[in-house]
Structure 1
């Protein structure tokens, strides 16, 4: 597959699949989530969609930079861990918004944070740019972890 097509596929898949979590749980934001007690640092709801869209775009470019590397066990491991952390990313919305399991969502996001960090380390071995493109994602998930913990504390 030509390199340009790999870029398009990587970006469409990450943005597309990533957006599905938000689409499937959007009704809960205006209902269940709106009724929760939230900390003073909770961002406005309108901010989440553009931030996540940008992060998914960066993730797509990042995974493309790794995917275009010559096949190797290191590339296979890096993309495998990326996929696992991406599954955790996707499932968090369902655990938090659909199932309303804030404590489980907190545990899940901590595992996801660790997986993102491992992904960054593995990506750095193949492409430093790919690794750096994931740093904003790690930063946002760090914030989301603190926010989830605060919401859990305020609502249990």
Structure 2
């Protein structure tokens, strides 16, 4: 079990402010989304072979915005309620441990889009999303059972979406032979 690692954890001020806690993941996700060139990403998305049930590209922005807000609010609740001096040392430790895990998963989340669309590395992106899924499933359990049930439940839609994202990431990788790079085919045309 990872413990609280202050150098790997967002500052306490972020967790102690509901607006900061909610807006930070939304802002970071927006910046990452825009820096991966949305028009290019959308065009690329349609050129790769896709697994069944893939959603339309316009759906990702609104879904991620809602999920980022929910995860930010979950972090705010878990850390502020869980680190109250009125709590047991075990609850405080669980809240702090969760804060470190939350920060790590946020970093993993911000890495996925550049890995998948920017660097076109589906294997690494799929490993990243699997790590995110496992971390968040554990985090939902930890916060939900040891700190604040509401915080745990707020992460459930995120865990469900990460399960679906894992399917999509692995599906695109597999259907495209784990190679998303631009390569000329035998006739000289570009293969995406």
Residue 45 of structure 1 pairs with residue 57 of structure 2: yes
Residue 136 of structure 1 pairs with residue 157 of structure 2: yes
Structure-1 residue corresponding to 2:47: 35
Compare relative contact order (CA 8 Å, sep 6+) and give the higher one, 1 or 2: 1
Residue 23 of structure 1 pairs with residue 38 of structure 2: no
Structure-2 residue corresponding to 1:96: 116
Task: Map 1:71-90 onto structure 2 (within 5 A).
Answer: 72-90=92-110
State TM-score, norm by structure 2: 0.75
CA distance in 2: counterparts of 1:98 and 1:105, whole angstroms: 11
Residue 116 of structure 1 pairs with residue 116 of structure 2: no
The question of whether the paired residues in 1 share the 8 Å contact of 2:75 and 2:151 is answered with: yes
The question of whether the paired residues in 1 share the 8 Å contact of 2:32 and 2:110 is answered with: yes
The question of whether the paired residues in 1 share the 8 Å contact of 2:116 and 2:125 is answered with: yes
Residue 67 of structure 1 pairs with residue 87 of structure 2: no
RMSD: 1.8
For residue 153 of structure 1, report the CA deviation from its aligned partner.
1.2
Gaps of 5+ in 2: 1-11, 86-91, 178-192
Q: Deviations over 1:46-91 (max 9, x none)?
A: 0000000010111111011012121632221111001101110110
State TM-score, norm by structure 1: 0.92
SS in structure 1 of the partner of residue 78 of structure 2: helix
SS in structure 1 of the partner of residue 17 of structure 2: helix
Gaps of 5+ in 1: none
Q: Which has the larger radius of gyration?
A: 2
CA distance in 1: counterparts of 2:73 and 2:136, whole angstroms: 15
